[in-house]
Amino acid sequence: MDSASTGAHSVVGTVSRALATEAVHAGRDDLARQGLHAPPIDLSTTYPSYDSRAEAARIDAFASTGAEPDGMPVYGRLGNPTVARFETALARLEGTESAVAFASGMAALSAVLLARSATGLRHVVAVRPLYGCSDHLLTAGLLGTEVTWTDPAGITDALRPDTGLVMVESPANPTLAELDLRAIAHACGSVPLLADNTFATPVLQRPAEHGARLVLHSATKYLGGHGDVLAGVVACDEEFARQLRQIRFATGGVLHPLAGYLLLRGLSTLPIRVRAASATAAELARRLVADPRVARVRYPRLGGAMIAFEVHGDPHEVIAGVRLITPAVSLGSVDTLIQHPASISHRIVDADDRRGAGVSDRLLRMSVGLEDVEDLWADLDAALGETPVTVPGARLQEAMR
């Protein structure tokens, strides 16, 4: 398990703080000086300015550099104080200089691709599996990008003079395959590595510590944690953050302040939620490995609250059979969700590519929440149905890889 999961520290000025402490206090450091305890929500779309010359100069400065304007806010599309608190907190948790929030995870990824394309670097090297819509965005070339799919060992050979990005996801959606991020970052050379850290969160790993320049989150998932906010965020160095802010301003993919507030609140309980759900997931994975109705179980060495498993029977019957667990897309909520990736999250990916990446038609993906493990197991046990006749041992040989 990565150091981040065992209480890694970040440095704020001269003060070293544990991850759990940062999750509670980052983005809130100025509240006591303002006589506040809870972070305020600033819902303004625009702000008054009686010095139009100075305002014009600040807007020009942002347009040329992407740096956050000094002083009072200008307009909601340039930035928002509530959203900025969340960005500050997430950057602290990921150990990066900055973070830039967007209206969704796909908006965040789109901004990264547009930023690289704007410099003439339209080629992307990527490793499957990725989240299905990320895969589709790259493959379809909707933003003018060209993608080369490869395995980790082929990254260096796949690089070209116009390669602007290498993209990976670890643990991957939905197979939970894990990658050696440090080795991949080395293989990238000077090309930025973008690591999707949605499944692990900074509680379990911090990709920037292993050489990733960009860390992507669908903040809709664990960062929000309650299934009530849609958002994306990229943690990165300030140089890249300035480019992303310019893209966000131009395209309008801004995060609503209320969403920023909910995300900041969600971060405060992130470590305890992830660790509690992970403990339950590990126990469910152990039971699934021993269950003859299950053909294969995938659970990361890193840990986490996600489980992927293949059944001998009809996976759609399992989906239809749950009562406590919710059959739904998404993940990372306080309640447990289950879905069939080949039909839902990865249906948009070509069937051969999908199966080649390990997303079989019998695979189910489960996001474990905070319910009692015995209640969850009782629901799964009932949904799995009768025990089929299987070949002893075949299931156990592949379990947990």
Place of tokens 């990372």: 332
Residue 74 class from Cβ within 10 Å (0-12 exposed, 13-18 middle, 19+ buried)?
middle
The one catalytic residue among 221, 248, 273, 395: 221
Q: Catalytic residue at 299?
A: no
Note if 77 is an active site residue.
yes
**Annotated catalytic residue 131:** yes
What DSSP character marks residue 144? S
CA distance 223 to 307: 18
Distances in whole angstroms, Cα of residue 106 to Cα of each of 64, 138, 196, 217, 222: 25, 11, 11, 9, 16
Contacts of 217-220 with CB under 8 Å at 24 or more apart are 217/90, 217/105, 217/108, 218/104, 218/105, 218/108, 218/131, 219/90, 219/101, 219/105, 219/263, 220/104, 220/105, 220/330, 220/332
Question: How many Å separate Cα 13 from the centre of its chain?
Answer: 27
Beta 363-367 vs 337-339: how paired, if at all? antiparallel
- Catalytic annotation, pick one of 2, 122, 128, 131: 131
Tokens for 58, please give them.
């600040």
Indicate which residue of 17, 58, 77, 275 is catalytic.
77
254-258, long-range: CB within 8 Å, 24+ apart, which pairs? 254/76, 254/77, 254/80, 254/83, 254/102, 254/103, 255/80, 255/83, 255/86, 255/101, 255/102, 255/103, 255/231, 256/103, 257/41, 257/42, 257/43, 257/76, 257/80, 257/82, 257/83, 258/41, 258/43, 258/82
* Rounded Cα distance, 102 and 260, in Å: 10
Tokens 């300030």 belong to which residue? 238
Q: If residue 146 lies in a helix (H) or strand (E), which one and from where to where? A: strand 146-149
Q: What is the DSSP string of 44-59?
A: -SB---S-HHHHHHHH
Q: Is residue 203 within 8 Å of 271, Cβ to Cβ?
A: yes
Beta pairing partners, 101:
233
Q: Annotated active-site positions, please?
A: 77, 131, 196, 221
